[in-house]
Structure 1
Amino acid sequence: MTPKHAPIRRSLPWLLAGLSMIGPFSIDAVFPAFPLIAARFDVDEVALQQMISVYLLTYAVMSLFHGAISDAAGRKPVIVAGMLGYALASAGAALSTSYGMLLVCRGIQGACAGAGLVVGRAVIRDSLEGEAAQRLMSQVMMIFGVAPVIAPMVGAQLLGLGGWHGIFWLLTGFTLLLAAWLVWKLDETHPPARRSRFAVKPLLAGYIAFGRDRPFWPLLISSSVNFAGLFLFIASAPQIVRELLHLSAQGFPWLFVPVVIGLVSGAWLSGRLAGRRGVGFTVNLGYAVMVLACVLHVGLALVFPQPRLPWSMLPLVLHGVGVQLAFPTLTLLLLDRFPHKRGGISSVQAFASLLLNGAVAGVLSPLLSGSLLQLALGASVMTVAGVLSWGWYQRVTRVPRVPPPRDIELQAQIAEPR
């Protein structure tokens, strides 16, 4: 009996949902604590942004290896070890006596956090197929989409209880409980008979070989930058909420609720269009919506030099819809270039996207977060880069006028908000 036909525990959706929440909570829950951390360690806004970029950098690097390690050692040991490592890093962050120590702990958090999300998706593919996998992935997607809204509010509430330390102690306790639950309830879905030897050199050589495919680069760029424009606003949330909107720590939902509404709505619409309209239509529609959102971003920033609620935040809804319309189809096209190495190409795409987001958080956000107009122009440049890359791909190879491949579980996997 193969894992795909084995009984599935009722706890599996909740386990995977818990794993999916770690990433958003790691980034968004600490935003309300930025002023307290800055005062404690006497650092400026640029240094504070490194808490996000360091986390994303280590997350990106390890995303290249989590899947391959789980192919060799099994899914369950890698996920459990990742959660335990994350818990230790969170405790270290709470006990940090210097800003350097805090950044090191954030880097370890990033290196461990990806084990849950990356290997968790492999658990779904191991365990389920077809409509069952799609339903399970949709449930996990909803949790992933709601988590960014909950995280800043939880972080803001914890400031009154344990200061900024309380946020990291919460993450410590959550991942320790999750690790214990995984040990108890998670079944191994990748038995020894199906495992492969882990070797870094052949793995990296395979990744380098992807670059020899001509359509690879425009698809990789386009699928990576389309979220980066929206992430510029997410990474700049502390400055937008506190400095531009002049709100307290309770004001973060004004930014995150529109983002999540857009991402969840776009994911739903993308699923409705799958199989009904061609890939060219879906991607073009996604970029048209993103361009419209950028025009509104810039226009409202010019009309209202002092941001006004809710108008200044409403374009984020359209931006999120456009991102989720384009991203699934772009990723399907990228995966179709290497049908026998989908896991590898998925890791490369995740690495590129996370690396770019790290640069957005660590470099662009500190430079542009002084005004909504600067942020709007920065997001517009990245959106235009995505449009140009999509046009480059169309010139390199003719876009097929057929719906994306009917690979339901893969399509559900890549449609989740990031």
Structure 2
Amino acid sequence: MPTLTLTLILAGLAMVGPFAIDTFLPSFPAISEQFAVAPEVVQQLLSGFLLAFAAMSLFYGTLSDAFGRRRVILTSLVIFTAASIGAALSTTFGWLLAFRILQGLSAGSGMVVGQAIIRDKFSGPVAQRLIAQVMMVFGLAPAIAPIAGGYLQTHFGWQAAFVFMALIAAILLLACLRFLPESLPRASRSAFHPVHLARNYLAAIQDVRFLFGGLAVGFAFGGLGLYIASSSSFVIHILGLAETQFAWLFVPMVGGLVIGSAVGSKLSHRMPPGASIRLGFVCMAIASIANVVYNLAFPATVPWAVLPVMLYTFGLGLGLPGMSLMTLELVPAMRGMAASLLNFMQMLIFAIMSGVVAPLLFDSALKLALCVAACLLLSAGCWAIGSRRQASVAD
């Protein structure tokens, strides 16, 4: 199978989660009005999705280790398509929340199993470059989704966003049936035993290097997650823009991520992962400081309020592939399980940011900037602890 085709399919599968997260963000006010619930309650449509996404991420990798990568991906796409249709047809907020949770349970297979497929077929700099390329292509989803969602909301109502998600999943299902081969031979598969699975997870978590590496990935992404979770309030209320103007936030935010991933891909053969990770942290630190200083001195307006966000995501795209790869390499015998656990930590932190932290920041761009800086400090601290432990083990 050509590498380009594999990259496009894996990127498309990884896009399912971002599309499910971002497409309906411009519809928050309309959903709140239709079901007569507060904005904080509507926010649970996002945090509930993310919690389900995180929980199921623990199982996708191990299920693919046991039953094969392709079968798990195809099954999840069928469930996601059905859940999206159910969400579009929901007549109560309770049903909508239930279908959002079902979406969350089925949306993560492409992101988790896709990493395992890359590790099945490639290693070293080639794997790092492919992960960066997948991130670069999949990074288009968070830019496209809220823009499309804004126009769908304006012209057709909030239900159209979920019809859009169903169509994307159905197209991906057909593409996988036609083009995605199985990358894990039957002889290399491991039986699915819940007790054995729990022991493997416990062993991985007890590895300080893996635990703190995963937390570092989660907190670095959490800085981006705060802006995604707060985007409806940030764009409409703080920046004073319309539902169709989410591009002011998401295009620079995703543009930075795509450019950073592209630069990281080019540098993968010229510098070790550790160097690109350090460069990524430097960019994120400069962005966080600039963001706090700007919001202390000026009211948030475009484009100045979003430029530091673009630099932050550039650093994230530069450093995150190396961080993920180095963390996954700590568990080479169970790549699917390691990918599941890594994604679980990332999405659990995102869910906490969305459901607990973000609602506290809806009224202030400065609070948002300070919390992003705090996420970066936590990420850098966790990475330093994990790296120090890894160096001591090597010695």
* TM-score, normalized by the shorter chain, greater than 0.5: yes
Sort the Cα spacing of 1:312 and 1:398 in 2 relative to 1 into closer, same or farther, 3 A.
same
Matched residue SS, 1:188: coil
Sort the Cα spacing of 1:239 and 1:37 in 2 relative to 1 into closer, same or farther, 3 A.
same
Sort the Cα spacing of 1:77 and 1:275 in 2 relative to 1 into closer, same or farther, 3 A.
closer
Task: Tell me if structure 2 keeps the 8 A contact 1:229–1:379.
Answer: yes
For the pair 1:354 / 2:331, whether they are aligned, the reply is no
Sort the Cα spacing of 1:196 and 1:339 in 2 relative to 1 into closer, same or farther, 3 A.
closer
Sort the Cα spacing of 1:348 and 1:124 in 2 relative to 1 into closer, same or farther, 3 A.
closer
By how many angstroms is 1:164 displaced?
0.5
CA distance in 2 between partners of 1:186 and 1:325 (Å):
28
Alignment length (residue pairs): 394
For the pair 1:30 / 2:24, whether they are aligned, the reply is yes
By how many angstroms is 1:10 displaced?
8.0
TM-score (norm 2): 0.91
By how many angstroms is 1:131 displaced?
8.3
Partner of 2:12: 18
For the pair 1:340 / 2:313, whether they are aligned, the reply is no
Of 296, 300, 305 in structure 2, the residue corresponding to residue 302 of structure 1 is 296
Matched to 1:40, the amino acid is Q
By how many angstroms is 1:33 displaced?
0.8
Task: Tell me if structure 2 keeps the 8 A contact 1:279–1:399.
Answer: no
Task: Tell me if structure 2 keeps the 8 A contact 1:279–1:400.
Answer: no
Partner of 1:249: 243
CA displacement, residues 121-141 of structure 1 (integer Å, 9 cap, x when unaligned):
444444567888677655533
Task: Tell me if structure 1 keeps the 8 A contact 2:125–2:268.
Answer: no
Matched to 1:232, the amino acid is L
By how many angstroms is 1:146 displaced?
1.0
Of 353, 358, 361 in structure 2, the residue corresponding to residue 365 of structure 1 is 358
CA displacement, residues 249-270 of structure 1 (integer Å, 9 cap, x when unaligned):
1211111111112112222333
Matched to 1:208, the amino acid is L
Task: Tell me if structure 1 keeps the 8 A contact 2:116–2:339.
Answer: no
Q: What 5-or-longer segments of structure 1 have no aligned partner?
A: 1-6, 402-418
By how many angstroms is 1:317 displaced?
1.4
Partner of 1:94: 88
Task: Tell me if structure 2 keeps the 8 A contact 1:8–1:127.
Answer: no
Q: What 5-or-longer segments of structure 2 have no aligned partner?
A: none
By how many angstroms is 1:275 displaced?
5.0
Q: CA RMSD in A?
A: 2.6
Percent sequence identity is: 39
CA distance in 1 between partners of 2:365 and 2:7 (Å):
39
Sort the Cα spacing of 1:337 and 1:10 in 2 relative to 1 into closer, same or farther, 3 A.
closer
For the pair 1:160 / 2:159, whether they are aligned, the reply is no
Sort the Cα spacing of 1:39 and 1:16 in 2 relative to 1 into closer, same or farther, 3 A.
same
Sort the Cα spacing of 1:270 and 1:30 in 2 relative to 1 into closer, same or farther, 3 A.
same
Sort the Cα spacing of 1:71 and 1:385 in 2 relative to 1 into closer, same or farther, 3 A.
closer
CA distance in 2 between partners of 1:217 and 1:175 (Å):
32
Task: Tell me if structure 1 keeps the 8 A contact 2:62–2:192.
Answer: yes
Matched residue SS, 1:65: helix
Sort the Cα spacing of 1:330 and 1:78 in 2 relative to 1 into closer, same or farther, 3 A.
closer
By how many angstroms is 1:221 displaced?
2.2
By how many angstroms is 1:363 displaced?
1.0
Partner of 2:78: 84
Matched to 1:220, the amino acid is G
Matched to 1:257, the amino acid is V
